[in-house]
Amino acid sequence: MHLKTLTLRGFKSFASATTLSLEPGITCVVGPNGSGKSNVVDALAWVMGEQGAKTLRGGKMEDVIFAGTSGRPPLGRAEVSLTIDNADGALPIEYSEVTITRTLFRNGGSEYQINGAQCRLLDIQELLSDSGLGREMHVIVGQGRLDTVLRATPEERRGFIEEAAGVLKHRKRKEKALRK
């Protein structure tokens, strides 16, 4: 199994559709500071189902949608597709090539697809869960991530743990309910 192509449309700084072809072996992405290298890694985590906005280096999930520049208006949706070579059948699905797609609309709606058919986030998580990819596999270690954890205050460290455990959204809901 290997990752074949990653296509970004309206994801972070990638306003125009951009496809990266990944050959078997090691792929390096090089470029100046701020050119979007980490955004490519964020897209990979996102399409595989990442739910933590902080992990994606944003404040809220909407921050993954192209926010506009001086010469280009913001977009209404972000879409990322990942095509995986499944010739060895590592993924439990009857296709030798699998494309997963995630779309987020600015109004908050989201869609997931496997080979063009609509599915649930859970279906993608289950598809990837035995393959070493996807949720809770910690296959992606972001730039500065270790440093952030080591230098965090106790409160921030608690935030990381709560996000990893999926408690953060419930805490936010609770705080919102108590304010009313």
- Per-residue binding string, Mg ion, 131-160, x by CB under 5 A, is ------------x-----------------
Please list every residue from 91 through 150 that binds ligand ATP, using CB under 6 A. 143
Please list every residue from 76 through 105 that binds Mg ion, using CB under 5 A. none
What secondary structure, in 3-state letters, does 86-153 show? CCCCCCCCCCCEEEEEEEEECCCCEEEEECCEEECHHHHHHHHHCCCCCCCCCCCCCCCHHHHHHHCC
Among 5, 13, 18, 38, binds Mg ion (CB under 5 A): 38
Q: Residue 36, interface with ligand ATP (CB under 6 A)? A: yes
* Closest to ligand ATP by CB, 106 or 174: 106
DSSP characters over 2-39: EEEEEEEESBTTB-S-EEEE--SS------STTSSHHH
Among 16, 21, 27, 35, binds ligand ATP (CB under 6 A): 35
Per the annotation, does 32 bind a ligand? yes
How far is it, in rounded angstroms, from Cα 95 to Cα 165? Answer: 33
How far is it, in rounded angstroms, from Cα 115 to Cα 97? Answer: 8
* Closest to ligand ATP by CB, 38 or 103: 38
Query: Applying CB under 5 A, which part among 32-40, 67-75, 154-162, 166-174 lies near Mg ion?
Result: 32-40
101 binds, among ligand ATP, Mg ion, none (CB under 5 to 8 A by kind): none
- Report the side by side order of strands in the sheet with 110-114: 18-21, 2-9, 77-85, 97-105, 110-114, 117-119
How far is it, in rounded angstroms, from Cα 52 to Cα 166? Answer: 9
Q: Residue 39, interface with ligand ATP (CB under 6 A)? A: yes
Per the annotation, does 131 bind a ligand? no
Q: Residue 12, interface with ligand ATP (CB under 6 A)? A: yes
H-helix or E-strand spanning residue 75: none
Give the annotated binding-site residues for ATP. Answer: 32-39
Binding residue numbers: 32-39
| Interacting residues with ligand ATP (CB under 6 A) | 12-13, 31, 33-39, 63, 65-67, 143
